[in-house]
Amino acid sequence: MEIQWLHLKFFRNYLDQEVLFQSGLNILQGENGQGKTNILEGIYYLLTGKSYRVHREQELMSWGENEFHLHGDFLVQKRKLRLESHYKEKRKIIKINQVPCRKLSEYVGTVNVVFFSPDDLAMVKGGPAERRRFLDLHIAQHHSKHIQLLNAYNKVIQQKNALLKRGQNGVKSQLELWNEQMVRIGSEIIKNRWEFTDLLSQKSQEVYGQISSGREKLTMEYHSLGKENLSEALEVFPKLMEEKMALEMERKMILVGPHRDDILFKLNDRSARLYGSQGQQRSIVLSTKLAELEVIRQNKGEYPLLLLDDVLSELDELRRDYLLDYVKDLQQTIITITSAETLTPRASLMLKVENGQIRRFD
Ligand SMILES: Nc1ncnc2c1ncn2[C@@H]1O[C@H](COP(=O)(O)OP(=O)(O)OP(=O)(O)O)[C@@H](O)[C@H]1O
């Protein structure tokens, strides 16, 4: 999969900018704060309907504007696709080949993408919400139904939370109804997450073995409802809901469900979050991102687009070389860097980014 052309209008510091890309390694080079990441963010938003960095569309509009528009031409299975994403008057409009999509789930996964930035270290070092978000975004690219499940689940927990906060008499029978929904939808979410953690774990273990010369073994485990085994988690889910109901009513908050689950990264069976060095944690993120690429290729028969945001400066020479060797086999990689020398011979295309303007290096 690859992007051939991108048009950004009123997106971050781009008022009206077109960019032409090529297959292979595309380099966006420029000083800090010139707009390199904004290009990657534009591509990511166009493909997923979400920003990698912020939660609110308002932040993506150029200052002083009330809308933004993104267009891109992509190549998938040798077919050309035009994607459009418009944000105007607080509404999103998404189109594939000029046909509007009603829901995000009709759109996400049409063209697959893997984004890797230094902030991804939070996947290992941060809280469980970061890890669940990573996993959900990854699953959504394969199973559009996962987005619908998450939306439905979030609505149920909002309603249940509101009910618990109100805390009137006779709430119990209503709570039972919400609990049934939580178990039904939540179990599907748990199954999807479990399945994808397994797939990612196998692949990332292989990659990690190669970059650590086989010294350490990486594993990823999905922990749900305090269980390390899928069938046990699914079995205990309704029982736990029942057991905790009185406590939930007393505390006026939801205490059980997959919105509290976590993914554990382990090196030689020890928590990488607690005991891993900074270098080991970076290697875990690198391995997981490359695993994501491989899982998508297995599933879709083609490599996704790889977007690398300033990651080379964070990696040591061994890992940098490993990554650059890896991207040689991919259809397209777009990388942002501040200094170009080391990469120039490997690039198919070099673009200079300066104050929201892009030009080709000659
Ligand atoms: N909504 C916006 N409207 C206009 N300009 C914006 C907006 N949001 C950010 N910017 C500008 O975009 C620039 C940052 O762009 P970006 O994050 O792409 O930089 P970068 O080239 O990747 O830098 P670095 O190498 O430091 O990561 C800054 O100059 C910032 O002021």
pLDDT category of residue 54 using cuts at 50, 70 and 90: confident
66-123 confidence digits (pLDDT tens): 999 999 999 999 999 999 999 999 999 999 999 999 988 888 889 999 999 999 999 9
Q: Report how far ligand 1's centroid is from the alpha carbon of 309 (Å).
A: 13
Binding residues for ATP: 30-37
Q: Are 12 and 35 in contact (CB under 8 A)?
A: yes
pLDDT band at 362 (very low <50, low <70, confident <90, very high): low
Q: Which residues belong to CATH 3.40.50.300 in the chain?
A: 1-111+304-362
Q: H helices within 167-307, ranges in order?
A: 171-211, 230-251, 272-275, 278-300
- Tell me the mean pLDDT in the region 116-144: 91
Residue having the nearest C-alpha atom to atom 11 of ligand 1: 13
Average pLDDT over residues 144-153: 93
Q: What is the pLDDT of residues 186-239, one digit of tens each?
A: 999 999 999 999 999 999 999 999 988 778 999 999 999 989 899 999 999 999
Query: For 199-203, which contacts have Cβ atoms below 8 Å and span 24 or more sequence positions?
Result: 199/291, 199/295, 200/138, 200/288, 200/291, 200/292, 200/295, 201/291, 202/291, 203/290, 203/291, 203/294, 203/295
For the stretch 234-238, contacts whose Cβ atoms lie closer than 8 Å and that sit 24 or more positions apart, written own/partner, are 234/187, 234/190, 234/191, 237/183, 237/186, 237/187, 237/190, 238/179, 238/183
Work out which ligand 1 atom sits closest to the CA atom of 41.
18
Percent of the residues in the chain that have a pLDDT greater than 70, as a whole number: 99
Strands 332-337 and 305-309: parallel
Global ipTM: 0.92
Q: What was the pLDDT predicted at 16?
A: 97
- Distance CA(350)–CA(21), nearest Å, equals 9
Q: Is the pLDDT of residue 14 over 90?
A: yes
Q: Higher confidence at residue 187 or residue 166?
A: 187
- Say how many Å lie between the CA of residue 310 and the centre of ligand 1: 14
The pLDDT of residue 170 is above 80: no
Token representation of residue 170: 């006779």
Ligand 1 binding pocket, CB closer than 6 Å? 12-13, 30, 32-38, 59, 61-63, 310, 336, 338, 353
Element (H, E) at 44: helix 36-48
CATH superfamily label, 1-111+304-362: P-loop containing nucleotide triphosphate hydrolases (3.40.50.300)
What pLDDT, on the 0 to 100 scale, is given for residue 121?
93
Distance 43 CA to ligand 1 centre (A): 15
Name the residue of 37, 43, 119, 334 to mutate for ligand 1: max ligand atoms within 8 A of Cβ: 37
Rounded to whole angstroms, how far apart are CA atoms 5 and 22? 9
Contact 305, 43 (CB under 8 A): yes
Pocket test for ligand 1, best of 12, 63, 314 (most atoms within 8 A of CB): 12
Q: List every span in the chain annotated with CATH 1.20.1050.90.
A: 120-300
Q: Which of the pair, 61 or 228, is modelled with greater confidence?
A: 61
Give 265-307 pLDDT, tens digit per residue.
999 999 999 999 988 999 999 999 999 999 999 999 999 999 9
> Atom 31 (ligand 1): residue with closest C-alpha?
33
Query: For residue 346, is pLDDT > 90?
Result: no
Ligand 1, atom 2, lies closest to the CA of: 12
| pLDDT band for position 41 (cuts 50, 70, 90) | very high
Ligand 1 centroid to Cα of residue 95, in Å, is 26
| Beta carbons of 295 and 141 less than 8 angstroms apart | no
Of 11-20, 175-184, 264-273, 340-349, which range is least confident?
340-349
Maximum CA pair distance of the chain?
A: 74
Q: Ligand 1, closest atom to CA 355?
A: 29
Cα separation, 222 vs 170, whole angstroms: 36
141 against 214, higher pLDDT: 141
For a mutational test of ligand 1's pocket, the pick from 36, 53, 59, 117, i.e. the residue with the most ligand atoms closer than 8 A to its C-beta, is 36
Q: Specify the residue with its C-alpha closest to ligand 1, atom 18.
A: 35
CA of 130 relative to ligand 1 center, distance in Å: 23
* Average pLDDT over the chain, rounded to an integer: 93
Provide the pLDDT for residue 341: 66
- Second-level CATH architecture of 120-300: Up-down Bundle (1.20)
Atom number of ligand 1 nearest to Cα 336: 22
